[in-house]
Structures are given as C-alpha cells and as structure tokens.
Structure 1
Amino acid sequence: MDEDNDSACFNSSLMDMDYFSNLEDIDVTADGSPVLRFLICLVYSVVCAAGLVGNLLVLFFIRVKHERRKSRVNFFVLNLAVTDLQFVLTLPFWAVDTALDFSWPFGDAMCRIILSVTVMNMYASVFFLTAMSVTRYWSLASALKNRTGHHCCSAKLTCVIIWTLATVATAPTTIFSTVSNVTGEKLCLLRFPGGQYWLAVYHIQKILVGFVLPMSIVSISYLMLLRFVRNRSMKTSNPKRRSQVTKSITIVVLSFFLCWMPNQAITLWSVLVKLNVANWDSAYYIVHTYVFPLTVCLAHTNSCLNPIIYSLMRKEFRNKLKGLVHRG
C-alpha cells in the first residue's frame, strides 16, 4: 500500500514537473486560493489609491510650487514620481487579472503594454535611487571645493540616460510578452523562442541590473559618504539639515532593499530551477504559489511609495502639506 502511495506521489510529481516545464514562464501562480487572491487585490487597490494621491502631491509640490529649483535630487524625485505614477495606473489591470485567477482578459496588446510599464518602473525606480545616492555624496564632496557646476543640465542628462537604460532593459519584455493559452486559461506571460533557458537569462538580467549592481553602487556611495562626513568638517553647511537629507535617502534605499529582497531571492530560486541546478519540488511549489505573490505585492508597494517616503521625510514638504490641509 505504501509503495502504491509512493508511486502515485511520484507520478503526480512528474506530471507537475512536466506541466511546468512546458510553460514559457513558470512564474505563474498555479493554485492561488481565493483568500490569497482577495488579499492581493486589496493590496493593489490600496497601493493604487495611495500611490495616485501621494505621487500627484509630490508632482504638485515640486513642479507647481517651484520646489525643484536647482536641486538635482529634487529633479530625480520628480522623475521618480512620474514613473511611479505611470506604474500605479497598471495596478487595476493586475488586480482584475488576480481576481480572475490570473486569467488575462484585456488582450495581447494590453498585456505587452502593461507588463512593459511594470518592468520599466522597476528599472527606472532603482536607477533613480542610485542616482540620488551618488548625487548626495557628490554634492557633499564638492561643497568644500565650491563646485557649483551646471546641476540642472547634469540632472537632465542623467535622467535621459536613466530613461534610455530602463527602456533598453525593458526591451525583452516588450518583445516577448504575449497572451498564451495554458490549460484553457489565457495568461499574460513571456514566451521566449528558447523556452526556459532564455527566460532564466532574462531573470538573471533583472536580478543583476535591477538589484545587485545598483545596490552595490548605492552601498559604496553611502560608505564613501559616511567616511567623508566623519573626516571632513562641513562648517559652511547645516549639519542638522545634512543629517536629515541623508537620513531620508537612507530610508528610501533601505525600504527598496528590504521590499525587493524577498522577491529577488525567490526569482533567483526560480532561475536555478529553470537551469536544472535546483529541483522543482513541493517546497518550491508552496513558496512560489503562496509566498511569491505576497513578495510581488511588497515590491510593488515600495515602488509606488518611494517619492512619498522621501518627500514626507523633508520638513519643507511636510509644512506645505500641512498648509494645504489647513486651507482645505
């Protein structure tokens, strides 16, 4: 009897492995429970509402209230708010997709557009966070040497480069995203000509370009910043102000790291499975089916709220927000 049960379990496992090996993208929740889907839809709805209000306020304060001035960091926050505002507009589509048990009802063109905007936001967000960290160090390091530079022009050029890099990095998503019929369900996913191998390469690119490399640059920038602050006496600047700005950027970067790390870790696990380095087993299935969607929610939440977190850490933004509320 035990041998029969073992044989049945083994056969079932083989069927599951064969099912997933035939999918171009195995990063699709295969058996999401109604409770999990409801939770994801709720998170998407809340993040969408908060992201719309928060990012519009950031755009209002920076653009309309002329808070951009010549600050490169403010210019990066402005662009960060723009890309995140675009992203929150995609969340209703993903919420509907989740509510329908991950069955895409909007057609192939919208699949390509929405998936591309989602991925581009991830790249653009981390690139702008990286630029903000490097800029903070460069601003402090150049203060003693009285280097004013052409900050606005430099910021604009940097933003053009960042948007270009994000577009190039998103190109595989735009080219290979499509609606595929899997076991009678229409799923919005990636279909690479080489199947699992190229999908693994695609995820490796996301991990390295969208997480590991930027976080390395950010970490080095902050280590250099801490060393600079300790070794130099910035008599011409306000130490309290400098501490507040540094703290705000640190919170943004740490929130990005903590929110994206679980998603990137599971993505790395899926890469190892695709390359047959790790086995597809029940542990992977459980984590990927029930934990991975929650890590996506966590990552999306951080991506939307970056400008809000950064802006609310700054006294001038808080004062203007209080003034706006009081006038209302």
Structure 2
Amino acid sequence: MASARGSCRVARAIESVISLSRLTDASSGLPPNSSVGNGSESSRPAWGPRCLDCLEGATGAGAALALRALIACAYLVLCAVGLVGNVLVLVLVRSQQRRRPSLLNCFLLNLAATDLQFVLTLPFWAADTVRDFSWPFGGAMCKVVLTLTVLNMYASSFFLSAMSVARYCAVVGALRPSRRGAPPAACVCGFLWAAAVLATAPTTLFATAVWVGGEPLCLLRFPDRGPDWLALYHLQKIAVAFVLPLATLGTCSLLLLRFLRRRRASWSSGVRPRRRSRVTRALACVLLAFLLCWLPNQALTLWGVLIKLDAIPWDRAYFLAQAYLFPVSICLAHANSCLNPLLYCLLRRDFRQGLREMCGRAKGTPNLRPGSEGRAPASTLSNNQA
C-alpha cells in the first residue's frame, strides 16, 4: 500500500509539472516545464510512470496493464491499416497524376506520404505504452520519433486545409471560365512542408529522453526560465493544428455548398443534382472525421492549458479524465491518419474504379467493363509475347 501511494505521488508530481507548476514535487525528479510522452497528443500529461497502477481505488495493476495492452494493440492495428491504405493511395494517385495532373492529387500524394511516415512511428508508441511509458529506444530515437509524429500532425492538417481549398476551386472552376496564373503545385507543397517543419521546430529542439525515478521517459524538456513554454507549445498546437484547419474546412465546405445551391436552378434534372449530393456527402464525411478525431484530444489539451495558466482549478476529475479519456483521444487522433485514404479515395468514383482494376490485375482477370473488350485481349497478348 505504501508503495502504491509512493507511485501515486510520483504520477501526481509528473501531472503537476505539466498542468500546475505550483504543485511540483521535487521527489519526482522530473525536470520542471517538461512534458512526458507523445508530443502530438498533449504529451500524455497524466500518463507518468505507473500512474494507472496507483489510481486510488479506481483500478488495480492488472486492469492498468490490460488497458495499456489494449491501447498498444490499437496502435498496431492502426499501423497495419494505415500502411495498406496509404500505400494504395500512393499507387493509385501517382498513376492518376501521371495521366491527368492536378493540384488536388498533388496534395493527396503529400498527405498520403506524411500519413505513411507517421504510421511507421506507431510501433514505437505501442512499445512505449505497453511498458507503462518507459522509453526503451534511447534519446536519438526519442527525438526522431517524436519529431516525425508532431510533423505529421501539422503537415496533415495543412494538406487537409489545402485540399479543401483546391476542391472548392476545382468545382467552381469547372463551372466557370478558367483563370490562369495558378501557382505551381510543387511551390505550394514546398511552402506547406516548410510551414510544417517550422511549426515542428520546438519539438525537434526540446525532445529528449530523461531518466526519472529509474525509468527512461521520452519527453519535451523546455527551458526553466522565461515564459511558460509548455503552455505556449500547446496553444500553438490547438490554434495551428486544429482551429485553423477546422475553420478552413468549414469555410470551404459552406462556400462550396452555397455555390452549388445557387447553380442548382440552372441545372437540368438528373446528373447535376446527383453530383451535388456526392459532393455534399464527401464534404460532410471529411469535416466530421477531422472534428470527431481531433476534438476530444484538443479539448483535453485546452483543459490542461487553462489549469496551467491558473484560469481554472486543478481537481481529481482532471486527473481521472487524463488517465482514462486521454488514451481514447490519442487513438482517435491517430486514427485520422488511417481514415484519410478511405475518405479521399473510396469516396471518389475514379479511385474506386482504379482499385477494382488493380485488384483485377492482381487476380489475373481481364477488365470486363463496357468499352474495354478490345483493350483486355490486347494487353493479354502483349504480356504473352513478352
């Protein structure tokens, strides 16, 4: 019992450093103005060493281990789904981009690339989670993995925003006279990557592995003096990686729906209304997926920032919310990188058609779609001759 209470004091000391500096317990050994764990998800503030094992009367060590194992398994499942989904997106979009280049497809390629490199970090976070957030991979890997994780958070948000703008321009441009002078796709993508790297710079500078209470932790260690770096870090995350993309997605969706509604009067019945319905469903799915995946995590992050700034008092409800709700919010936020391929490819008819063709070639069956009778035998003959 004494050991459990001692562990609980360590966990609460870690929590206090992150959320309320006036409660810091020097016996914890955690450096002040530091943030434990995965920096893209509010750094898992309540998940210090053995914190779930020591929640008084809430759970035992076995339940805590089961919860950590469940979260680790969720990371591995997300990794597998994300690998398959994003690789398919890269293959299909690259093939389509060669035939018919477009700015939207260029953004989609970059989004799939950043999501793909992100899902490769999930096995590291799975191992970190199942070991009760004891980081076994060393300081260099801590910096690399944490940097890639946060880079994906910003890059995916920026490319999602750019895709919503590009989709609006594509639909409006298809129904209006074309205008020249659009910036090259490479320049726009380069600017977005540069902005994501700049936003990730604090993570790259301050990510490190530190031994605390005999356990190595992968954390963000900010300078002790100066402004409240940790609060500024999380405020930047909320504003740049959530509020700005959400406002862009919502604004573009509303503008596009208003534009389609105004054009409806001049459309003939049949094709145009069906197109409007497809666009409306796609916009709703993209916006809802981003909101549902990121809102819980960002809300808990904002709660911690308000406590850090003494705007609201710290209480046990916050500690329990961080311990139990925060892992769910992390999984939801990670799942967004796996949902992107489904949302932006499976909702588009041309990508579904390309996926069917790819599966048909993998099975060795000819393409039997109308109008393809002449092409399939020619392709088969060419392969036989080769």
Residues 253, 283 of structure 2: 8 Å contact kept: no
1:230 Cα shift? Answer: 1.3
Match status 1:263 vs 2:273: no
| SS at structure 2 position matched to 1:189 | strand
Instruction: Give SS of 2:177's match.
Output: coil
Instruction: Indicate conservation of the 8 Å contact 1:87/1:304, yes or no.
Output: no
Closer, same or farther: CA 247–202 of 1 in aligned 2, 3 Å: same
Quick check: 249-258 or 291-300, which moved more? 249-258
Separation of aligned partners in 2, 1:304 and 1:223: 25
Q: Distance in 2 between matches of 1:247 and 1:29?
A: 38
- 1:37 is aligned, of 60, 68, 82, to 68
Shift of 1:69: 1.9
Structure 1 gaps of 5+ residues are: 1-10
* Percent of residue pairs identical: 51
Residues 74-122 of structure 1: per-residue CA shift (max 9 Å, x gap): 2111111000000000001101111111010111111111111111111
Q: How far off its partner does 1:225 sit?
A: 1.2
Q: 2:169 aligns with which of 133, 138, 141?
A: 138
Bigger Rg over Cα: 2
Partner SS for 1:25: strand
Q: How far is 1:68 from its partner? A: 6.6
| Contact preservation (8 Å) 1:17, 1:280 | no
Q: How many residues align?
A: 317
3-state SS in 1 of match to 2:228: helix
Residue in 2 that maps onto 1:5? none
Q: Partners in 1 of 2:224 and 2:254 — Cα distance?
A: 41
Match in the other structure for 1:96: 127
| Segment drifting more, 309-318 vs 110-119 | 309-318
Displacement of 1:154 after TM fit?
3.1
Report the Cα distance in structure 1 between the residues aligned to 2:192 and 2:97, rounded to whole angstroms: 23
2:323 matched to 1:282? no
Which of residues 122, 136, 154 is equivalent to 1:123?
154
Q: Deviations over 1:27-61 (max 9, x none)?
A: 15132311111111111111100110110011111
How far residue 13 of structure 1 moved from its aligned partner, in angstroms, is: 9.4
Give the Cα separation in 1 of the matches to 2:8 and 2:125.
30
Q: Distance in 1 between matches of 2:13 and 2:82?
A: 40
In 2: Cα distance, 1:265 partner to 1:29 partner: 17
Q: TM-score, normalised by structure 1?
A: 0.88
Partner of 1:231: 262
Instruction: Provide TM-score, normalisation by structure 2.
Output: 0.76
Separation in 2, partners of 1:276, 1:255: 32
How far 1:194 moved relative to its partner?
A: 3.3
CA distance in 2, matches of 1:15, 1:40: 22
Task: Tell me how far apart the structure 2 counterparts of residues 58 and 265 of structure 1 sit (CA, whole Å).
Answer: 31
Whole-angstrom CA distance in 2 between matches of 1:29 and 1:174: 21
Work out whether residues 178 and 188 of structure 1, in 8 Å CA contact, stay in contact via their aligned partners in 2.
yes
Contact 1:80 1:128 in 2 (8 A): yes
Q: Which structure 1 residue ranges, 4+ long, deviate > 6 Å from structure 2?
A: 11-16
Question: C-alpha root-mean-square deviation of aligned residues, in Å?
Answer: 2.5
Q: Deviations along 1:232-263, whole A, 9 cap, x unmatched?
A: 25759955345424532431222011110000
Can you give the 5+ residue segments of structure 2 that lack an aligned partner in the other structure?
Answer: 1-5, 18-23, 25-29, 37-44, 53-63, 364-386
Aligned 8 A contact 2:203 2:220 in 1: yes
Q: 1:25 aligned to 35, 40, 50, which one?
A: 35
